[in-house]
Every structure is written in C-alpha cells, then in structure tokens.
C-alpha cells in the first residue's frame, strides 16, 4: 500500500461546504504517483518514454469530506493483467472511509499506438502492493 496525505485547499470546497466530488480524481492520481514511478523511476513526463494510459476510473462516495481536516489517500493494486493493472484507492478523513475507487491503467507505446505487456520485474513490484477485494455484484 502507498499512502499520501492531502491538505484540502479552500477552492476544493463546493457550495454545500463539502470537498467537491471532482477533486477526488486528482487526489487519487496523486496517490498513483508511486505506482507510476515503478514504470518511470525518474517520472520523466516526456511522451518519448511515458508508457501508461488510463482506460477507466470510478468512485463510490461513502461519506462527506470537509475542508478542515487532512485526507489520507491509500493506494493499492487490485488486479494485475498481461498489459494492464488496476489500482484501488481509498480516501480517509478523521478515521472514516469517505471515498473508494478504482483506476485501470494500460501499459502503452504512444509512438506506435499499441498496448504492451507489463515487464515481469514491474509485475513483481506491483504485487508487493496487492490487495484482494471482494467480487463486485
């Protein structure tokens, strides 16, 4: 599991006084940075070397998040395929699980516009952060 702490910004708050739901996508992406480093150790954002593309994201909002308190983002790997993997994210505030979600990333060659197998050494590193999730109904 990877963890980061996020301090909400004033601009993250919506008219109801909660953290706006669109903010979670950004926070969960921050939580994926350590996973990105497995593929790009220097986090070189050049398309000449970048090898991941997002295929899917989803979120379940379970409880409200508020401006006054830091948020812990927990990131796990919940599936490892041949050419793609899924990260599972949780947003915790004041001991409460408030949001959970998943994101599917594909190992991708941008120059040739084709998917690529994930190298075995990276699969082993992803496996170190694996979590078994119950099957979805």
Q: From the CB of residue 34, how many other CB atoms can be counted at a distance below 10 Å?
A: 15
Q: At what angle do helices 23-39 and 120-127 cross, to 10 degrees?
A: 130
Report the SS3 class of residue 36.
Answer: helix
User: How many structural domains is the chain composed of?
Assistant: 1
* Residue 105 placed within a domain: yes
Asked if pLDDT for residue 6 goes beyond 80, the answer is: yes
pTM over 0.95: no
Report the SS3 class of residue 4.
Answer: strand
* Residue 137 placed within a domain: no
* Residue 109 placed within a domain: yes
Give the domain range for residue 121: 2-127
Four-point Cα dihedral 82, 105, 130, 38, nearest 10 = 90
* Residue 136 placed within a domain: no
* Residue 97 placed within a domain: yes
pLDDT tens digits for range 61-70: 999 999 999 9
17 close to 66: Cβ distance less than 8 angstroms: yes
Model pLDDT, residue 137: 67
* Residue 89 placed within a domain: yes
pLDDT-derived band at 48, boundaries 50, 70, 90: confident
Which of 14-18, 22-26, 71-75, 94-98 bottoms out in mean pLDDT, i.e. has the lowest? 14-18
Model pLDDT, residue 42: 76
* Residue 90 placed within a domain: yes
For 62-96, letters b (16+ CB in 10 Å) and e give eeebeeeeebbbbbbbbeeeeebbbbbbbbbbeee
Query: Which residue is listed with tokens 């979600």?
Result: 101
pLDDT tens digits for range 110-121: 989 999 999 999
Task: Determine how β-strand 71-80 pairs with β-strand 96-109.
Answer: unpaired
Entry field: residues in the chain? 137
* Residue 107 placed within a domain: yes
90 close to 59: Cβ distance less than 8 angstroms: no
> In the predicted model, what is the mean pLDDT of the chain?
94
Model pLDDT, residue 41: 83
Domain of 99: which CATH number?
3.10.129.10
Model pLDDT, residue 65: 97
3-state helix, strand and coil shares in percent for the chain, rounded to the nearest 5: 20, 40, 40
């Amino acid at each position: 599991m990877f963890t980061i702490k996020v301090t909400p910004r004033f601009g993250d708050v919506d008219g109801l006084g909660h953290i706006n739901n669109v903010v979670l996508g950004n926070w969960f992406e921050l939580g994926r940075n350590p996973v990105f480093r497995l593929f790009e150790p220097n986090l070189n954002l050049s398309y000449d070397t970048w090898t991941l593309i997002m295929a899917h994201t989803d979120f379940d909002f379970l409880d409200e998040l508020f401006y006054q308190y830091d948020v812990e983002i927990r990131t796990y790997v919940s599936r490892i395929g041949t050419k793609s993997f899924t990260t599972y994210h949780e947003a915790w505030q004041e001991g409460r699980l408030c949001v959970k979600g998943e994101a599917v990333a594909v190992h991708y060659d941008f120059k040739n516009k084709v998917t690529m197998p994930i190298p075995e050494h990276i699969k082993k590193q992803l496996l170190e952060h694996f979590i078994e999730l119950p099957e979805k109904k």
